[in-house]
């Protein structure tokens, strides 16, 4: 004969199961939307483009119709002068493809700053704007400087002239190879939002890192960004990049 638990006991079991199920779903959702989805070493990266020393890889991104890219390039420039460019939020308009406006704010702490930028897109697609959290640190086991950038929503009110990008992650791994050579590994995924076909974005995705890295190399060698030094605190935290007298 089959036996059944008392009604209150059955309810308790069901509630406990439901709680565990919701917790599991929450973990799955969190893992799908957590930061740092992109890893340098990932078997999904597929070499897509190579020209003038710039190698660009692409791969699918979980839950997105838009691909991610990884670009690798050795720049003929010192890490100090490259970081002088990277630490200047206004420099975006001079080296990042289609960046037409950029400025920094909330920069009391160099290791965690914020910047606003606008990307120009061809008509009839609306331009996109970004509010980015910029985290800068030195790798504990090497001389590599890591910059992690994430789109955030709560810092600047939306502008009706643009489509606000609310999902983006960008990672720069900047490694000195000598006094005047620096390797950059650039990983990025963006959800551009609004009405824009994924096939169009994916078809043009290699232009961004190729043209931008070449422009960065040229800009880092310009007079404006020469003779800089990276500043560190006593505990090794990067505190700024300053021009030397």
d(CA 95, CA 106): 23
Tokens of 81: 């002068």
C-alpha distance from residue 223 to each of 84, 185, 216 (Å) = 11, 25, 13
What string of pLDDT tens digits covers the 245 residues of the chain? 444 445 445 444 333 433 333 333 333 333 333 455 789 999 999 999 999 999 999 999 999 999 999 999 999 999 999 999 999 999 999 999 999 999 999 888 999 999 999 999 888 889 999 999 999 999 988 999 999 999 998 899 999 999 999 999 999 999 999 899 999 999 999 999 887 878 878 888 999 999 999 999 999 999 999 999 999 999 889 999 999 88
Specify the length of the chain in residues.
245
- Per domain, the residue ranges of the chain are 1-30, 40-243
Question: Is residue 79 a contact partner of residue 174, using CB atoms and an 8 Å limit?
Answer: yes
Q: Element (H or E) spanning 146, and its range?
A: strand 145-151
Q: Which residues contact 63 (CB under 8 A, 6 or more apart)?
A: 32, 33
Nearest to 189 by CA among 157, 165, 210: 165
Q: Does domain 40-243 have CATH number 3.30.365.10?
A: no
pTM (2 d.p.): 0.84
């Amino acid at each position: 004969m089959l036996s059944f638990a008392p009604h209150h006991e059955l309810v308790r079991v069901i509630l406990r199961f439901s709680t565990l199920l919701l917790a599991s779903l929450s973990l799955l959702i969190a893992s799908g939307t957590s930061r740092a989805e992109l890893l340098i070493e990932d078997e999904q990266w597929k070499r897509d483009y190579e020209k003038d020393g710039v190698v660009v890889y692409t791969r699918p991104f979980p839950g997105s119709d838009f691909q991610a890219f990884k670009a690798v390039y050795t720049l003929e420039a010192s890490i100090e002068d490259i970081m002088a460019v990277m630490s200047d939020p206004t420099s975006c308009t001079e080296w990042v493809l289609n960046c037409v406006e950029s400025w920094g704010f909330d920069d009391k702490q160099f290791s965690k700053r914020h910047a606003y930028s606008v990307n120009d897109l061809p008509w009839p697609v609306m331009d996109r704007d970004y509010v980015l959290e910029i985290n800068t640190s030195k790798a504990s086991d090497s001389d590599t400087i890591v910059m992690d950038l994430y789109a955030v929503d709560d810092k600047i009110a939306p502008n009706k002239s643009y489509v606000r990008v609310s999902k983006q992650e960008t990672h720069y791994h900047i490694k000195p190879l000598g006094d005047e050579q620096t390797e950059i590994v650039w990983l990025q995924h963006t959800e551009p939002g609004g009405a824009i076909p994924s096939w169009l974005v994916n078809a043009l995705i290699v232009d961004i890192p190729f043209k931008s890295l070449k422009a960065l190399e040229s800009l880092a060698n310009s007079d404006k960004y020469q003779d800089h030094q990276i500043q560190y605190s006593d505990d090794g935290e990067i505190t700024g990049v300053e021009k030397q007298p």
